Amino acid sequence: MRISVEQLASLVNGTVEGDAKAYIENYSKIEEATDGCLTFLANPKYTHYIYSTKATAVLVRKDFKPEHELSTTLIRVDDPYETLAVLLNMVSSQEPAKKGIEQPCHIAEGVEIADDVYVGAFAYVGSNVKVGNNVKIYPQVYVGDNVTLGDDVILYPGVKVYHGCKIGNRCILHAGTVVGADGFGFAPKEDGTYEKIAQIGIVILEDDVEIGANTTIDRATMGATIIKKGAKLDNLIQVAHNVEIGDNTVMAAQVGVAGSTKIGKNNMVGGQVGFAGHITVGDNNGFGAQSGIPNSVGSNLRVIGSPAINALDFARNQVYLKRIPQMAQDIKQLKKLVDEIKNEKQ
């Protein structure tokens, strides 16, 4: 891709400050950019790089005020990170789309496959599967009987979608994702063994859900495990049976959600957070990495720790923890002083 700074700015409703006639040929991180690259500045921690970057142009916020002289051209936009996402999606959409059915693969009789669908070699598509338009099923994908795939779904290599599950429009499942394996349901018996409880429910992914590599979403015991519209799950996440994850909630890697927990919309969940089972989580919360959530949580909170507490309280506690060695020494000295005073009085 080769485009002038002026043309690129017009695509994103940005204003140019610098050489509008320069050309962009690639994208790069601000600290690694070279001539011909477009980069962006969204995190204040990286501001110092803008004064030394070799990038031809940098996406910045409209209110950005440089403190030193710049050698790069600025493209001022409302949100640099969101703008970069739009541009990268434009680049990605220009790549040739895969179409057609590769062999060998198995497509059961009666499955309707549109002309614009791609099915890779060694994929398996079971009976009564409904496949939407522009679906991409990459090699070694398994799609079980009675599964529904909406329009523009992408199943990357090695994805497994068990029988009966429903995948909405524009969902993306990355390599190794498993949707619809049995929930972890076992009834203890008097002799110390366990009786398996049949998991007869399904998994529903609503529209615009994206699931990272090697994430597992268990089918419900009864009813459905539901990932609601616009939710984004990172790699290596475990979602147990009968869980609900609300609209536009995002989860970083290695989060674990135990059975029957209901999580609301617009939550931001850091890596390795653990949610106990059978609890309810409200909307618009932020959960710091490695937090443990043992009980139900309201809305509009920022928490961290295990068990999780208010983020400001956690920060204060961390300061006190660092002082404990000195406090212990002070207490020891005070005790010694008290003992000396007692001895003098005797």
pLDDT tens, 295-336? Answer: 999 999 999 999 998 888 888 888 888 888 888 888 999 998
| Domain positions in the chain | 3-93, 317-346
Query: Which of 76-82's residues contact partners 24+ apart within 8 Å by CB, and which partners?
Result: 76/14, 76/15, 76/16, 76/17, 77/12, 77/13, 77/14, 79/42, 80/40, 80/41, 80/42, 81/40, 81/42
| R_g of the chain computed on alpha carbons | 27
CATH of domain 3-93: 3.40.1390.10
Among candidates 239, 213, 236, which has minimal Cα distance to 227?
239
Catalytic residue status for 174: no
Please give the pLDDT value at position 312: 86
Closest CA to 152 of 196, 210, 193: 210
DSSP structure class, residue 327: H
| 287 contacts 307 by C-beta, under 8 angstroms | no
User: What pLDDT shows up at residue 283?
Assistant: 98
Beta bridge partners of 346: none
- pLDDT confidence bin for 91, thresholds 50/70/90: confident
Q: What is the pLDDT of residue 12?
A: 93
For the chain, how far is it from start to end, CA to CA, in angstroms? Answer: 90
pLDDT of residue 273 exceeding 80, the answer is yes
Work out the percent of the chain whose per-residue pLDDT is above 70: 100
Catalytic residue among 106, 163, 174, 241: 241
CB count, 10 Å around CB of 118?
19
Query: Which tokens hold the place of 121?
Result: 């070699």
Q: What three-state secondary structure class fits 336?
A: helix
Question: Which tens digits make up the pLDDT trace of 208-250?
Answer: 999 999 999 999 999 999 999 999 999 999 999 999 999 999 9
Would you say residue 345 has pLDDT above 80?
no
Give residue 160's pLDDT band: very low, low, confident or very high (50, 70, 90). very high
DSSP string, 10-66: HHTT-EEES-TT-EE-EE--TTT--TTEEEE--SGGGGGGGGT---SEEEEETT---
pTM, two decimal places: 0.86
| Dihedral sign from CA coordinates of 67, 71, 77, 80 | negative
For residue 203, what pLDDT is reported?
A: 98
- Is residue 327 exposed (0-12), middle (13-18) or buried (19+ Cβ within 10 Å)? exposed
Neighbours of 157 (CB within 10 A): 16
CB atoms within 10 A of CB 185: 18
The answer to whether residues 154 and 205 touch, using CB atoms and an 8 Å cutoff, is no
Nearest C-alpha neighbor of 201 from the set 186, 178, 218? 218
By CB atoms closer than 10 A (0-12, 13-18, 19+), residue 70 is middle
